[in-house]
């Protein structure tokens, strides 16, 4: 049996702007994980696969090899809808493996995500689709006996998520693949998905060539600041928020361009401050990133900092900390950077205000990818 565990993520700075090719964000991989277990299965008939998840225990979805792909067996078609990221990851790895001369393999795949609260089913917004994608790419490549270097794994996982949603930046994939504090610059997704759709193009060649803009680098964490995470109790749908932002940006093109430029500067300041161990500059950059998002929300009419996220931030600021929404906003989580000695009181105040402090730690990182 092959077992892999991949961390979830949290955005620190750079949200929304990182959707523009060449723009960057900073994220962290966290110590809540998606676990994938893969058991190879050989059968006399067509190659078959079963996928089970802890979201729908006991309701496995079966896929049978037909032509050059896999199709859900008719009895389970309806259940395959929630598996889009896992299926996209398998399709990419299959294509890559078959090109490398491998025969398709059959297996039973079990996906167990700890990123949501399993007891209550609450969604915290810790990036399960990116983590599932990385975990499935890693496990399936091992099933084929194909060793993936970190850059190849990252690119296969990015192509998988871009093929499901061309409007996601891939930041969650970078954080989940890499772990730790991560600086991520997004490639030109439109160019990549066009190249991917051309089946005459060898996937291996697309993976091997350098991708313009793409960068994933480890950052040292702030020296003496504690990263605190609060869940405001309402799940948010990032794709809907991103779609609403795209819509409203059409009327505010120059404001959006200015936002992206300012966000990029802020992300660079944040990264430089981490590298030089300047916690004060880290705080200034995080504060600026939050303000830029609030200004963007005000102009675009979208709700990035919900009233609950605003409360989370104000409670942190009252204790001298810096805080902001994390990710697309509208709900999910907010983050604060605070003197560790004051973290317990911040958690207490958040709890009193109905905000759940999440006891997350940053996941250990790998070496720089490129
Ligand atoms: O809400 P989250 O954690 O899924 O973050 C979304 C961040 C965006 O920049 C708004 C979108 C993206 O794909 O980067
Ligand atoms: Mg979110």
For ligand 1, whether the C-beta of 207 sits within 6 Å is no
Q: In the prediction, which pLDDT does 147 show?
A: 87
pTM: 0.95
For ligand 1, whether the C-beta of 171 sits within 6 Å is yes
| Ligand 1 atom with minimal separation from the 125 CA | 3
- 343: number of Cβ within 10 Å: 18
Nearest to 94 by CA among 146, 131, 58: 146
Atom 14 (ligand 1) nearest CA? 169
Q: In the prediction, which pLDDT does 82 show?
A: 73
Distance 108 CA to ligand 1 centre (A): 31
For ligand 1, whether the C-beta of 170 sits within 6 Å is no
Distance of CA 107 to the CA centre of its chain: 26
Q: Show the DSSP H helices in the chain as ranges.
A: 84-99, 128-143, 150-164, 171-178, 189-197, 203-208, 238-249, 253-276, 279-300, 307-318, 343-352
Testing ligand 1's pocket by substitution, the residue of 238, 264, 289, 304 carrying the most ligand atoms inside 8 A of its CB is 238
Query: Cβ neighbours of residue 172 under 8 Å, at least 6 residues apart?
Result: 9, 27, 127, 129, 130, 131, 161
Tell me which CATH code domain 2-218 carries.
Answer: 3.30.230.10
Distance CA 268, CA 270 (A): 5
Distance 49 CA to ligand 2 centre (A): 31
Q: Is the pLDDT of residue 370 over 80?
A: no
Q: In the prediction, which pLDDT does 12 show?
A: 98
Find the farthest-apart pair of alpha carbons in the chain and give their distance in angstroms, rounded: 67
- Phi/psi for 230 (5° steps) reads -120, 135
Split at pLDDT 50, 70, 90, the class of 127 is: confident
For ligand 1, whether the C-beta of 113 sits within 6 Å is no
> Who has greater pLDDT, 80 or 94?
94
Q: Is the pLDDT of residue 206 over 80?
A: yes
The mean-pLDDT minimum among 78-92, 155-169, 324-338 falls in 78-92
Split at pLDDT 50, 70, 90, the class of 80 is: low
CA distances from 227 to 4, 123, 139 (A): 26, 20, 31
The residues spanned by each domain of the chain are 2-218, 224-358
For ligand 1, whether the C-beta of 328 sits within 6 Å is yes
For ligand 1, whether the C-beta of 238 sits within 6 Å is yes
For ligand 1, whether the C-beta of 20 sits within 6 Å is no
| CB-based contact 129:238 (threshold 8 Å) | no
Split at pLDDT 50, 70, 90, the class of 307 is: very high
Q: Is the pLDDT of residue 77 over 70?
A: no
The mean-pLDDT minimum among 65-79, 275-289, 348-362 falls in 65-79
Q: Is the pLDDT of residue 48 over 90?
A: no
Split at pLDDT 50, 70, 90, the class of 298 is: very high
CATH superfamily to which 224-358 belongs: GHMP kinase, C-terminal domain (3.30.70.890)
Mean pLDDT within 290-297: 97
Q: Is the pLDDT of residue 305 over 80?
A: yes
Q: In the prediction, which pLDDT does 123 show?
A: 80
pLDDT, averaged across the chain:
92
Nearest to 168 by CA among 152, 150, 148, 184: 184
- 299: number of Cβ within 10 Å: 16
Q: In the prediction, which pLDDT does 79 show?
A: 62
Percent of the chain surpassing pLDDT 70: 95
Distance CA 370, CA 179 (A): 14
Express each pLDDT in 6-36 by its tens digit.
999 999 999 999 999 999 999 999 999 999 9
| Ligand 1 atom with minimal separation from the 167 CA | 13
Express each pLDDT in 208-246 by its tens digit.
999 999 999 999 999 999 999 999 988 888 888 999 998
| Shortest-distance ligand to the CA of residue 8 | 1
For ligand 1, whether the C-beta of 53 sits within 6 Å is no
């Amino acid at each position: 049996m092959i077992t892999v565990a991949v961390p979830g993520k949290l955005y620190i700075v750079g949200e929304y702007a990182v959707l523009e090719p060449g723009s960057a964000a900073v994220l962290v991989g966290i110590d809540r994980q998606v676990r994938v277990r893969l058991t190879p299965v050989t059968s006399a008939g067509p190659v078959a696969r079963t996928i089970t998840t802890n979201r729908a225990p006991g309701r496995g979805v079966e896929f049978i090899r037909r032509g050059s792909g896999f199709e859900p067996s008719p009895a389970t078609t309806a259940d395959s809808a929630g598996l889009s990221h896992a299926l996209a990851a398998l399709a990419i790895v299959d294509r890559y493996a078959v090109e490398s001369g491998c025969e398709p393999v059959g297996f039973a795949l079990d996906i167990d995500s700890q990123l949501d609260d399993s007891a209550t089913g609450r969604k915290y917004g810790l990036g399960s689709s990116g983590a599932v994608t990385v975990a499935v790419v890693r496990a399936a490549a091992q099933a084929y006996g194909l060793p993936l270097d970190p850059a190849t794994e990252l690119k296969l996982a990015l192509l998988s998520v871009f093929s499901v949603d061309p409007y996601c930046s891939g930041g969650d994939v970078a954080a989940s693949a890499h772990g730790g504090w991560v600086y991520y610059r997004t490639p030109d997704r439109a160019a990549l998905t066009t190249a991917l759709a051309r089946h005459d193009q060898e996937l291996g060649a697309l993976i091997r060539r350098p991708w313009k803009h793409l960068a994933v680098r480890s950052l040292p964490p702030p020296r003496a600041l504690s990263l605190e995470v609060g869940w405001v109790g309402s799940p948010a749908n990032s794709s809907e928020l991103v779609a609403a932002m795209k819509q409203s940006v059409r009327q505010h093109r120059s404001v959006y361009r200015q936002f992206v430029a300012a966000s990029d500067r802020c992300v660079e300041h944040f990264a430089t401050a981490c590298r030089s161990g300047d916690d004060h500059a880290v705080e200034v950059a995080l504060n600026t990133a939050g303000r830029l998002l609030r200004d963007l929300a005000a102009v675009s009419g979208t709700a990035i900092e919900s009233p609950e996220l605003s409360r989370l931030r104000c409670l942190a600021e009252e204790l001298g900390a810096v805080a902001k929404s994390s990710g697309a906003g509208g709900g999910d989580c907010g983050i604060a950077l605070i003197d560790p000695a004051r973290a317990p009181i911040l958690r207490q105040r958040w709890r009193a205000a109905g905000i759940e402090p999440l006891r997350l730690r940053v996941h250990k990182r790998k070496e720089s990818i490129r």
